[in-house]
Amino acid sequence: MKKAISLGVAAAMTATLLAGCGTAASSAPAASSEAASSTEATSEAASSEATATEAHEINTTDPIELTISWWGGDSRHEAYQKAIEAFQEKYPNITVSPTYGAWSGWEEKQSTALAADQGSDVMQVNWNWLYQYSPTGEKFVDLRDYSDIIDLTQWTDAAKNACTVADSLQAVPISMTGRIFYWNMNTFKQAGIEKVPTTYDDLIAAGKAFQEKLGDDYYPLAIGQYDRMILMTFYLESKYGKAWVENNECQYTEEEVVDGLNFIDSLEDNHVIPTRPTMIAAGFDSIDKSQEWIDGKYAGIFEWDSAPSKYQSALADNSGFTVGEEIKFGDKANGGFSKVSMGMAITKSCQHPVEAAALIDFLWNGEGAAIMGSECGIPASTAGLASAQAADAVKPLVLEANTKVLAFVDMPLDPYYESSKLKDTTDGIYTDVFDGLSYDEYDPQEAAEILLDGVSGVLSANA
């Protein structure tokens, strides 16, 4: 089967990956434990608060160097840097060096670093990384070994269970998240539309109104390859009432997937979304950085509930930026999923795990949580959320979006849904399928075959 040629070129990272950890002597040896053979998270492992194998004490005298890495937009970068400054004021002997950038190309760099045991000491990680890069607990420490430094009681058992892989709590969840629509109602009103779309018919009507009243360069919604996959999943789960994957098997027939791909095609055909060639020709790395979004020509996105800040702040006129409603595309279920948006982990190559644990606790349970606010989503830590709310640092848009998402979605998410083999923005299966479909290199039948073959291959490899 032919493979679509990706025409996009990943933008340069805004920061260079720092190699390895600091070399100063650690105040305590790195935790060591035999990795369990199972790659499944267990409720028992997540709910038990393991007592640290030894009492730990944060080194407050000797010079300590830590590294930390994360991805995100400008507002997230700023919040992290302010929180790091506050941590260094509390611990003047500890220097924290950050590495950060946009999402595009980020996972590829981090996976390379992890393979070489050169990941940052403290890493902001995607939930699926725990399964993909540390299935037997080989890359990240069990944070229960540092429960005297990180107050793990601030997270629910369910939240910790989601980050427990190979009987090891490999990260603490920063927040829970899901996808929802955001709209620039200034542009919608220019097209004569006063209310946010709430149905498929509303989307189709908006596409027609935008084209007729504003011109061919205006679209009510813009979505990339991975966004299309998620939106198609929402559509299928809503219409057919079953999860995309269960028991490590895709639950959809080729005919049903063709239906989902025809749904995406219908959005292009009715001027709801720009084609992939149109978006690629614009030459931008992410939608929030495109002139089309900044100027309001692209008037909607389908994004994580933790992400509105960068889209709102990018607009030349953001007075009309609005959280929309989830759209139910069928009668069988609401469709859609929530997940651990990201976690905080300590790499096993870290030479200062005690101080790294102190940094995590500071960021998400302590004073740093008031600075981080909702830049990474609504905090999953009870103490962190309380600190952020007390500091008036929880953005109303993020809280509104998160509340709507968690009240709507009701489907489980397979941990390999975001596998790099599927999600990679240059040669992943999702990119191949949706770029190929948009370029008319594949018809829906061919695209469905490629998608199902790719998903089955990933699931089989992780069976």
CA–CA separation, 68 vs 363, rounded Å?
12
Q: Do domains 46-176+338-408 and 178-241+254-337 have the same CATH topology?
A: yes
Q: Mean pLDDT in the chain?
A: 89
| Nearby residues of 431 by Cβ (< 8 Å), 6 or more positions away | 4, 6, 225, 226, 424, 425
pLDDT in tens, 177-199: 999 999 999 999 999 999 999 99
Q: How confident is residue 40, by pLDDT bands cut at 50, 70 and 90?
A: very low
Contact 256, 237 (CB under 8 A): no
Residue 212: other Cβ atoms inside 10 A: 13
pLDDT of residue 306: 87
Residue 28 pLDDT exceeds 70: no
Higher confidence at residue 417 or residue 23? Answer: 417
State the alpha helices, DSSP H only, in 91-192: 106-115, 127-133, 157-162, 185-190
Residue type, 186: N
Q: Of 32-46, 65-79, 148-162, 427-441, give the lowest mean pLDDT range.
A: 32-46
pLDDT of residue 286: 85
Residue 47 pLDDT exceeds 80: no
pLDDT of residue 282: 81
Q: Where are the domains positioned within the chain?
A: 46-176+338-408, 178-241+254-337
| Nearby residues of 54 by Cβ (< 8 Å), 6 or more positions away | 28
CA–CA separation, 91 vs 82, rounded Å?
14
Q: What is the DSSP letter of 290?
A: S
The dihedral sign for the CA sequence 305, 310, 315, 319? positive
pLDDT of residue 3: 37
Residue 44 pLDDT exceeds 70: no
pLDDT in tens, 322-347: 999 999 999 999 999 999 989 999 99
What tokens appear for 75 in the block? 């507002």
* Letter string b/e over residues 12-35, b meaning 16 or more CB atoms within 10 A of that residue's CB: ebeeebbebbbebebbbebbeeeb
CA–CA separation, 124 vs 174, rounded Å?
9
Residue 32 pLDDT exceeds 60: no
3-state DSSP call for residue 146? Answer: helix
Residue 17 pLDDT exceeds 50: no
pLDDT in tens, 421-438: 999 888 999 999 999 999
Distance of alpha carbon 318 from the chain centroid: 24
> What's the farthest any 2 CA atoms get from each other in the chain?
69
CA–CA separation, 461 vs 128, rounded Å?
15
Q: Which CATH superfamily is domain 46-176+338-408 in?
A: Periplasmic binding protein-like II (3.40.190.10)
**Residue 124 bridge partners (DSSP):** 344
pLDDT in tens, 260-316: 999 999 999 999 999 999 998 887 778 999 999 999 999 999 999 988 989 999 999
CA–CA separation, 243 vs 245, rounded Å?
5
DSSP per residue, 44-112: HHHHS-PPPSS------SS-EEEEEEEE--HHHHHHHHHHHHHHHHHSTTEEEEEEEE-STTHHHHHHH
Residue 213 pLDDT exceeds 70: yes
Q: Of 155-164, 181-190, 243-252, give the lowest mean pLDDT range.
A: 155-164
Candidates 215, 232, 229; CA nearest to 292 is 215
**Across residues 134-153, what is the average pLDDT?**
97
Distance of alpha carbon 391 from the chain centroid: 25
Q: How confident is residue 21, by pLDDT bands cut at 50, 70 and 90?
A: very low
Q: Which CATH superfamily is domain 178-241+254-337 in?
A: Periplasmic binding protein-like II (3.40.190.10)
pLDDT of residue 302: 98
Residue 112 pLDDT exceeds 70: yes
Residue 30 pLDDT exceeds 80: no
Alpha-carbon Rg for the chain in angstroms:
22
The residue written with tokens 């420490």 in the block is 141
**Across residues 433-462, what is the average pLDDT?**
97
